């Protein structure tokens, strides 16, 4: 059974810092991996999707990498801003069109 773990569970940084969020999964046979952002009580915003054949994806200040063989992904956030404060969730799917298995998230707080 696929399990997704995110470390750390919470992170507090001052504005301007670069930071890395970690995601690990137990079964390397994934179809794709998605990173989401969730504000308190709100919906899930997809940030980046990495196909199993890809190594990384970039969007603005965000960069996600995938090492499928070791079961790891990282989300790099450059020059953090207070508006980045949210919970970041990592999720994997085993096959096309199947359920996403989520980690419990990393709650990020960026102070000004």
Partner 1 sequence: AAGVIQSPRHLIKEKRETATLKCYPIPRHDTVYWYQQGPGQDPQFLISFYEKMQSDKGSIPDRFSAQQFSDYHSELNMSSLELGDSALYFCASSFARYEQYFGPGTRLTVT
Measured at the CA of 36, the angle between CA 30 and CA 42, to 5 degrees, comes to 140
Contact stretch for partner 1 (CB under 8 A) within 22-30, 57-65, 66-74, 88-96 = 88-96
- Check binding of 89 to partner 1 (CB under 8 A): yes
Q: Is the dihedral of CA 51, 55, 83, 6 positive or negative?
A: positive
CB 41, min distance to partner 1, A: 7
From the list 9, 11, 6, the residue with the least C-alpha distance to 92 is 6
Give the interface segment with partner 1, choosing from 14-22, 42-50, 61-69, 76-84 (CB under 8 A): 42-50
In the list 1, 43, 69, 83, the residue contacting partner 1 (rule: CB under 8 A) is 43
Question: Rule CB under 8 A: is residue 92 a binding residue for partner 1?
Answer: no
Distance CA 84, CA 91 (A): 19
- Residues in the site for partner 1, rule: CB under 8 A? 32, 34, 36, 41-46, 49, 89, 91, 96-105
């Amino acid at each position: 059974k696929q399990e997704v773990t995110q470390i750390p569970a919470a992170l507090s940084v001052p504005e301007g810092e670069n930071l890395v969020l970690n995601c690990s999964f137990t079964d390397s046979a994934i179809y794709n991996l998605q990173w989401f952002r969730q504000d308190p009580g709100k919906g899930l915003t997809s940030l980046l999707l990495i196909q199993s054949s890809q190594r990384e994806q970039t969007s603005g200040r965000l960069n996600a990498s995938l090492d499928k063989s070791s079961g790891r992904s990282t989300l790099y956030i450059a020059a953090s801003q207070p508006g980045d404060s949210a919970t970041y969730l990592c999720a994997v799917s085993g096959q096309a069109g199947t359920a996403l298995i989520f980690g419990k998230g990393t709650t990020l707080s960026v102070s000004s």
